[in-house]
Amino acid sequence: MNEPIRELALEGITKRFPGILACNRVSLEVRRGEALALVGENGAGKSTLMNILAGLYQPDEGSIRVNGEVVRFASPADAFDRGIGMVHQNFMLVPSMTVTENVALGMKALHRRIRLDLKEARRRVLEVSAHHELPVNPDAPVWQLSVGEQQRVELVKTLCLGARLLILDEPTSALTPQETDDLLDRLRRMMAELSIIFISHKLNEVKALSDRVTILRHGEVVFHGSTADHSTAELAALMTGRDVVQPRNEQSGAPGREVLTVRALRVRGDRGNLALDGLDLDVRAGEILGLAGVSGNGQRELADALAGLRPVESGSIRLDGAEIAHASPRRIIDGGMGYVPEDRHHEGIVGPFSVEENLVLKDVGKAGFSRHGFLRPGEIHRNAEELRERFDIRCSSTAAAAGTLSGGNIQKVILARELARGPKALVAVYPTRGVDMGAAEFIHGQLLALRRSSAGILLVSEELEEVMALSDRIAVIYKGRILEVLASRDATRRTLGLLMAGVPLG
């Protein structure tokens, strides 16, 4: 067991990347038994800072002290030797191996020449899991585990390696509300023996778990203080540098006819399983239908099928009355379907293409942008300048490669392209995942504006706050079916959470 970390301090850490100063003389400290929340928008430098602490990056300037002694981490192994362990946002587990094998991978002490002492590893897993009340089955292959269980395996793994300070990078981003509460509970109990640095931008979780909070903005510490003394609104303002008013659906106006109807839809997933098994759904003109669910319950397959990118096994999809279940993507697009895909970098834009080109990606063949098969560069440029203004796309020029833009701005490019086409129905998949609060606010505003212009919107999201703030009705998807559709005003975090976990109402 490593020596306990009584005090850990980062002093004046500076880290540069090409073109940006990721961390600028950042200092923070954590004491034993304390939880520090590290809060900031995307690109504020949180992850860079923690990667430095975990030994993945070396700082350009500044030092790290553990118990008063200056240390240097050349690799994650060095950090582990001093008791610092990080649980990354994307789990670092080998799916085909068992829990024990995954833990044993990192335990150097168990590797004897050519033999690996799996018995000892299994004993350690059980010991740690019992001690910290983190139930895991040491013999289960990781791929069989739910996301929440995998999260526990990550924690057990990190603790088995002797971590006395846990760094958790957005640990709740893939969890249901119940799983989140459960995780926060366990973490609180573990704090008797450990220190925790908790990276998040969900301020209610920050309030629930942390003792102190450090807020980063543009690579600098802008605030440091006790969590209890500040409201979430105050923290949000400090985080973004201004007052944040998240737009809400005012629920006015009666919804119109159905623009998107899905009946008994069956679609296979990538592994040949039935990812959608008899799904029914209606989206009406002038409404936002939120689709809540833990990711992996068929959202991706549904969105693909609606866009014509995944073959439909059986069932029907109607867009404004026209059957599109077996239509080509082109026909669906021409029929008035808009789509904001999940993976914006690869599905939403052609990275090496300029912003201009990406803005006409779907419509380059239309009369406005080409004539007799020849492009009209002047028109394409004019269109881009107009949309850049209207959607507040921040880029050095519209000729810049779209892939070099920030995530929020890429999302604005996609949204601009889709909304400018005046869609009858729009499918938006995780539209604000990973974008900062300012961009999220803008995107939400645009979706609400589209709703007012009588389009039907299917909003796929795993953020309950987002779904509840924007939707008229909320459908909960579980294992390829809609479990329940609620009016937004009747939905609470608790009911939605239960439904997302597959528990039917009443």
Partner 1 sequence: MGRRFRAFYAAAVIAVAALAAATVVALVLEAIGASPWATFRVILTGPLQDRFGITEILVRSVPLILVALGVAISFRSGILNIGAEGQILIGILCATGVALAVPEWPRPVLLPLCLVAGALGGALWGGIAGVLRAKLDVNEILSTVMLNYIAAQLYTFMLRGPLIDPAELMTGSGTPQSMRLPRSAWLERLVPGTRLHSGLLLALVLAGLVWVLLWRTTLGFRMRASGAGSKAARYAGIRVERSLVVAMLLAGGFAGLAGAVEVLGVHHRAIENISSGYGFAAIVVALFGGLHPAGIVPAAIFFGLLLVGADMTQRSAGIPANMVLVLQGAIILAIVSARMYVDDPYARQRAARLLGRFLPGGKAGA
Residues making contact with partner 1 (CB under 8 A): 16-19, 307, 309, 328-330, 332-334, 339, 341, 343, 346-353, 357, 361-362, 364-365, 370, 373-375, 377
280 or 334: whose CB is closer to partner 1? Answer: 334
User: What minimum distance in Å lies between the beta carbon of 373 and partner 1?
Assistant: 5
17 or 143: whose CB is closer to partner 1? Answer: 17
12 or 365: whose CB is closer to partner 1? Answer: 365
Residue 172 structure tokens: 């709740």
Burial 206-231 (b: 16+ CB within 10 A, else e): bbbbbbbbbbbbbbebebeeebeebe
CA angle 430-234-415, nearest 5°?
25
User: What minimum distance in Å lies between the beta carbon of 330 and partner 1?
Assistant: 4
What are the residues whose beta carbons fall under 8 Å from the beta carbon of 480, sequence distance 6 or more? 274, 275, 276, 277, 278, 279, 297, 298, 301
User: What minimum distance in Å lies between the beta carbon of 325 and partner 1?
Assistant: 17
- The helix/strand/coil state of 386 is helix
From residue 329, alpha-carbon distances to 233, 279, 306, 338 in Å are 43, 21, 9, 11
364 or 501: whose CB is closer to partner 1? Answer: 364
Amino acid at 294: V
71 or 364: whose CB is closer to partner 1? Answer: 364
User: CA–CA separation, 486 vs 467, rounded Å?
Assistant: 12
Distance between first and last Cα of the chain: 49
**Strand pairing partners for 478?**
481
User: What minimum distance in Å lies between the beta carbon of 418 and partner 1?
Assistant: 10
**Helices 147-160/99-106 angle, 10° precision:** 40
60 or 484: whose CB is closer to partner 1? Answer: 60
460 or 467: whose CB is closer to partner 1? Answer: 460
Residue written as token pair 């003792």 = 211
From residue 302, alpha-carbon distances to 76, 175, 228, 264, 311 in Å are 40, 20, 42, 12, 11
Burial 428-440 (b: 16+ CB within 10 A, else e): bbbbbbbbbbebb
User: What minimum distance in Å lies between the beta carbon of 308 and partner 1?
Assistant: 8
- Please state whether 298 falls in left (phi above 0), alpha (psi between -120 and 50) or beta: left
**Strand pairing partners for 338?**
426
Residue 474's closest CA among 496, 504, 456, 454? 496
Beta strands per DSSP E along 219-328:
220-226, 258-268, 274-284, 288-292, 312-319, 322-323
What are the residues whose beta carbons fall under 8 Å from the beta carbon of 162, sequence distance 6 or more? 1, 2, 80, 83, 85
CA torsion sign for 318, 322, 327, 331 is negative
User: What minimum distance in Å lies between the beta carbon of 290 and partner 1?
Assistant: 22
Q: Residue 117: exposed, middle, or buried by beta-carbon count in 10 A (0-12, 13-18, 19+)?
A: middle
264 or 350: whose CB is closer to partner 1? Answer: 350
User: What minimum distance in Å lies between the beta carbon of 93 and partner 1?
Assistant: 26
User: What minimum distance in Å lies between the beta carbon of 101 and partner 1?
Assistant: 33
328 or 453: whose CB is closer to partner 1? Answer: 328
User: What minimum distance in Å lies between the beta carbon of 331 and partner 1?
Assistant: 8
User: What minimum distance in Å lies between the beta carbon of 249 and partner 1?
Assistant: 27
User: What minimum distance in Å lies between the beta carbon of 56 and partner 1?
Assistant: 15
80 or 369: whose CB is closer to partner 1? Answer: 369
User: What minimum distance in Å lies between the beta carbon of 397 and partner 1?
Assistant: 12
Whether residue 279 contacts residue 302, with contact meaning beta carbons closer than 8 Å, is answered with yes
18 or 68: whose CB is closer to partner 1? Answer: 18
84 or 402: whose CB is closer to partner 1? Answer: 402
User: What minimum distance in Å lies between the beta carbon of 367 and partner 1?
Assistant: 11
279 or 306: whose CB is closer to partner 1? Answer: 306
Which run of H or E residues covers position 195?
strand 195-200
